[in-house]
């Protein structure tokens, strides 16, 4: 044991300032890279790549030669695939580096993550429904919506029912599109969403409803829709939709969904979205 500590001490003495700076820079770049990826749907793809790498290692240990050969050759072109798949994220990262100040680039601290003010959101939805003002509001869950936020106007404002209502006033610059809420902030407005390609939903659903379903198919967010024709409140999640919510029902449902996202609740059970829109 004594020889171990002597050897460890001797190795530590060989570490210079250059080595410390080198490790610190690499750690910082990795940290920033992980933080950037975490804010987009690319995090799901990274998990898939890590699973493939794990399978390749296991197949090598177990002498599964054919599987190992296929995985090795697949991962050899992985760098090119990553550059293609993550092209929007890489472009935004370079734009941030080019436009941000040094103070912003080296900022380490994370924003405080607190629960969304569901009451303010539901109050806004209630007022919008009473005036039949069309609206589309997204609430982030585990999958961040950085790529969708980039398509709109970034706000980073406190959640307020008055602000939410004003954002959807017709013929104003930000009324057309979706509002994204996450980390207890109104992150962006006038965001563009992908429309669902599922033709089995009722023809009564308009563009807002199809956009809400579309984004819920590719992310685990909660999409709230107010119809400008009927004032009906709807919610889309996991590629499905329920309509005819009251503000009280909406508040209860959102709270239950966000409560199920907490680690303790996740360990107990996997909550499923129980209803669907009437099919054709």
**CATH classification of the domain holding 193:** 3.40.1700.10
**How does pLDDT run across 218-228, given as a tens digit for each residue?**
888 899 999 98
The SS3 assignment for 137 reads strand
Domain end call among 76, 105, 134: 105
**How does pLDDT run across 104-125, given as a tens digit for each residue?**
444 444 333 344 478 899 999 9
Instruction: Give the pLDDT score at 223.
Output: 93
pTM for this structure?
0.59
126 in the same domain as 36:
no
261 in the same domain as 155:
yes
99 in the same domain as 19:
yes
Instruction: Give me 1's structure tokens.
Output: 């044991």
Longest Cα separation, the chain: 80
Q: Which residues contact 38 (CB under 8 A, 6 or more apart)?
A: 144
**How does pLDDT run across 133-174, given as a tens digit for each residue?**
999 999 988 878 888 898 899 998 888 899 999 999 988 888
Q: How far apart are CA 145 and CA 72, in angstroms?
A: 32
């Amino acid at each position: 044991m004594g020889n171990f500590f002597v050897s460890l001490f001797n190795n530590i003495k060989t570490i210079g300032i250059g080595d410390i700076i080198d490790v610190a820079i690499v750690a910082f770049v990795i940290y920033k890279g992980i933080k950037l990826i975490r804010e987009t749907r690319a995090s799901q793809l990274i998990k898939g790549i890590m699973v493939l790498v794990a399978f390749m290692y296991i197949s090598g240990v177990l002498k599964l030669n054919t599987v190992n050969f296929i995985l090795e050759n697949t991962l050899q072109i992985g760098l090119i695939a990553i550059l293609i798949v993550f092209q929007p994220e890489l472009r935004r990262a370079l734009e941030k580096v080019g436009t941000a100040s040094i103070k912003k680039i080296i900022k380490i601290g994370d924003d405080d993550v607190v629960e969304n003010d569901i009451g303010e959101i539901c109050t806004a939805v209630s007022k919008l429904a009473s005036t039949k003002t069309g609206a589309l509001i997204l609430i982030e869950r585990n999958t961040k919506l950085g790529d969708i936020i980039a398509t709109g106007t970034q706000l980073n404002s406190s959640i307020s029912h008055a602000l939410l209502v004003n954002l959807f006033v017709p013929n104003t610059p930000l009324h057309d599109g979706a509002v994204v809420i996450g980390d207890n902030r109104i992150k962006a407005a006038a965001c563009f969403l992908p429309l669902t390609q599922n033709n089995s939903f009722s023809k009564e659903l308009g563009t807002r409803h199809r956009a809400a379903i579309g984004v819920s198919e590719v992310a685990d967010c909660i999409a709230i829709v107010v119809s400008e024709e009927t004032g009906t409140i709807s919610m889309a999640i996991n590629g499905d939709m329920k309509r005819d919510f009251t503000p009280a029902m909406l508040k209860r449902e959102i709270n239950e969904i966000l409560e199920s996202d907490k680690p303790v609740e996740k360990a107990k059970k996997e909550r499923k979205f129980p209803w669907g829109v009437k099919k054709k």
